[in-house]
Amino acid sequence: MNDEAGARKGLRALAAELADCRACGLCAGRTQVVFGVGSPVADLMFVGEGPGYHEDTQGEPFVGQAGKLLTELLQSIGLARGDVYIANVVKCRPPGNRDPLPEEIAACTPHLMEQVRIIRPRVVCTLGRFATRLIAQTEAGMTSVRGRVKQTEVAGVPVLVFPVFHPAAALYTPANRSVLEEDFLKLKRVLERGTDALARVAADPPLSGEVQLSGEAPLPSEAPLRADGPAGSGPAEQLPLW
């Protein structure tokens, strides 16, 4: 169990250190550094791309239209913003909401990694391609990796990475919204059964290290849970297939 007071203190210290960050050109156009928000000991951490206008103005990630959708998606799986931690690949708003440049991402990455080291989430849900590329260390397109689990280490912390479309991609495209809604239901399963996923990977490792969640699997409430144990032993057989 992560020490909540210690983690809170660590995040505060890091935020204070970065408040006047000038490590890349984004400092010139920002109103403020948008550090991150949420539980310092969250099991689930979201990583987006970078602050937009509203985030830059308010100093909090995902408070605009895309943020409203993220909040709704969280609510749909029984979570509030305060239950999770939300951060971005870059902490300052790219001018005109352009994509962050490689040098801006490189300058900001150590700070995101430090946040991961402090929070020690079990699951990192990457929102869109920039976060997915960085956190999952993949060049694969979102369409092929979204809704899939990757077991890896981020900043030395063992995590399950779960990429989903960026909520902004769903704002004007209802089809993307349905995909996001489905993926959040899978995310709920990953959160509830993460250890089982690890056990299954260990027993039958896919070459890529990624596990496709079965769309047919019953929701956790419909299936018996098991205590941690080796995959394939006893009650593990009762789990829905991943």
Report the interface residues with ligand URA, using CB under 6 A. Answer: 48-52, 55, 61-62, 64, 66-67, 88, 168
Residue closer to ligand URA (CB basis): 94 or 194: 94
Residue closer to ligand URA (CB basis): 70 or 239: 70
Residue closer to ligand URA (CB basis): 51 or 121: 51
Residue closer to ligand URA (CB basis): 84 or 213: 84
Enter the tokens of residue 56: 């830059």
Residue closest to 61 by CA, chosen among 53, 51, 47, 46: 51
Least Å from the CB of residue 190 to ligand URA: 21
Enter the tokens of residue 55: 């985030």
Least Å from the CB of residue 153 to ligand URA: 23
Least Å from the CB of residue 22 to ligand URA: 21
Rounded Cα distance between 127 and 88, Å, is: 9
Q: How many CB atoms lie within 10 A of CB 20?
A: 8
Using CB atoms, what's the residue nearest to ligand URA? Answer: 48
